[in-house]
């Protein structure tokens, strides 16, 4: 029994020594080394202490693919009934002539209709007749027919050409393209200026953008305000068409200029 007791005491003593040793020595936690990307991220932190501000401009010149034509018939008569009859007869002839040019009825809408009295003179209350101004708006999808359509309408009795306005059916596409080109121009300017000063461009700190479009007409020439490293691009209509009118007439087709301007700030490193 005495020998068993000695063995048990030895086991208890060893157990106690092991527990004390575990408590006394600090635990060792193995941590994975930080990835190499952490150093790269630190180096890429935007330094706002030094910066450069530049501007970029881009113009995309596009041949329009739609035209809105406003044609009018002005009629005069001594009574409202007579003037309405005369005007309705004439405007119906004009619409028939437009349809004969291949324009669908849904593309022809009444844009303005006004009937007003005609007085004897400015200060008189005596009405000597009535006048109707009836204007129709035509959306023409074949821009090569602009002059032909106008002449056909005038021959049918129209006596007013109120407006001829060219536009783009996909203007958003070219606005996005102009913005991208303007930003590239700004980045190139910033890189060249920074390199000349012995520095490099870093992150983009700020961007301001302004875009618009306008019709230039047939006399259009390149904008002299586009300085070095700004960009200009001319684009023909889809399908490889030249966009030029094939028949002689009073309306000459120009281009729509879609312009974008950006100013941007870049950090320097």
Render pLDDT for 32-90 as a digit per residue (tens, 0 to 9).
445 555 445 444 567 778 999 999 999 999 989 999 999 999 999 999 999 999 999 99
Q: Other C-beta atoms within 10 Å of 20: how many? A: 10
Q: What is the pLDDT of residues 116-168, one digit of tens each?
A: 999 998 888 899 999 999 999 999 999 889 999 999 999 999 999 999 999 89
151 and 99 share one domain: yes
Please give the Cα distance from 241 to 123 (Å, whole number): 57
**Are 56 and 188 in a shared domain?**
yes
> Does one domain contain both 87 and 131?
yes
What stretches of the chain adopt beta strand conformation (E)? 51-62, 66-77, 108-119, 127-140, 160-167, 201-217, 231-235, 255-268
In a domain, 182, yes or no: yes
Query: Does 7 reside within a domain?
Result: no
pLDDT score of 199 more than 70:
yes
Question: Within this chain, do residues 238 and 192 fall inside the same structural domain, yes or no?
Answer: yes
Mark whether 110 and 237 lie in a shared domain: no
pLDDT category of residue 176 using cuts at 50, 70 and 90: very high
Can you tell me whether residue 32 is helix, strand or coil?
Answer: coil
* Share of residues in the chain with pLDDT > 70 (%): 70
Per-residue pLDDT tens digits for 226-269: 444 566 666 655 444 444 444 556 777 778 889 999 999 999 98
**For residue 14, is it within any domain?**
no
Instruction: Give the domain CATH number at 147.
Output: 3.30.70.2970
pLDDT score at 86: 97
Provide CB contacts within 8 A for 198, sequence distance 6+.
none
Would residue 32 count as lying in a domain?
no
pLDDT score, position 228:
46
Average pLDDT, integer, range 196-223: 77
Last residue of a domain, one of 124, 147, 167: 167
Report helix, strand or coil for 247. coil
Give the residue, 193 or 231, on which the prediction is more confident: 193
Arithmetic mean of pLDDT, 98-114: 96
Are residues 126 and 107 part of one domain? Answer: yes
Residue ending a domain, choose from 151, 167, 183:
167
Going from the C-alpha of 237 to that of each of 86, 129, 169, 197, 201, the distances in angstroms are 41, 49, 11, 43, 38
- The answer to the question of residue 218 being in a domain is yes
Do 57 and 188 lie in one domain? The reply is yes
Examine residue 79 and state whether it is found in any structural domain, yes or no.
yes
129 & 183 share domain = no
Per-residue confidence band for 188, with pLDDT thresholds at 50, 70 and 90: very high
Domain that holds residue 135: 66-167
> Domain for residue 205, yes or no?
yes
> Considering its fold, how many domains does the chain have in total?
2
Picking from 143, 167, 191, the residue at the C-terminal end of a domain is 167
């Amino acid at each position: 029994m005495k020998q068993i007791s000695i063995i048990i005491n030895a086991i208890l003593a060893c157990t106690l020594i092991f527990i004390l040793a575990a408590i006394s020595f600090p635990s060792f936690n193995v941590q994975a080394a930080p990835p190499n990307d952490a150093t790269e991220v630190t180096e890429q932190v935007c330094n706002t202490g030094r910066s450069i501000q530049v501007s970029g401009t881009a113009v995309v010149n596009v041949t329009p693919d739609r035209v809105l034509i406003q044609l009018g018939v002005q009629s005069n008569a001594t009574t409202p009934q007579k003037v309405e009859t005369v005007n309705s007869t004439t405007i119906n002839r004009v619409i028939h002539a437009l349809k004969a040019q291949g324009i669908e009825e849904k593309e022809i809408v009444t844009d303005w209709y006004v009937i007003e009295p005609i007085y004897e003179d400015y200060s008189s209350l005596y009405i000597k007749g009535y006048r109707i101004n009836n204007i129709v708006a035509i959306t023409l999808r074949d821009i090569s027919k602009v002059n032909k359509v106008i002449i056909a309408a005038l021959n049918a009795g129209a006596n007013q050409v109120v407006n001829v306005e060219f536009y783009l059916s996909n203007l958003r596409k070219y606005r996005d393209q102009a913005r991208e080109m303007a930003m590239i121009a700004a980045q190139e300017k910033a890189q060249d200026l920074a390199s000349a000063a012995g520095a490099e461009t870093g992150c983009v700190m700020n961007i301001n953008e302004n875009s618009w479009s306008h019709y230039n007409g047939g006399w259009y020439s390149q904008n002299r305000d586009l300085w070095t490293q700004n960009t200009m691009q001319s684009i023909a209509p889809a399908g490889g068409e030249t966009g030029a009118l094939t028949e002689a007439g009073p309306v000459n087709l120009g281009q729509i200029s879609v312009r974008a301007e950006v100013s941007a700030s870049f950090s320097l490193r």
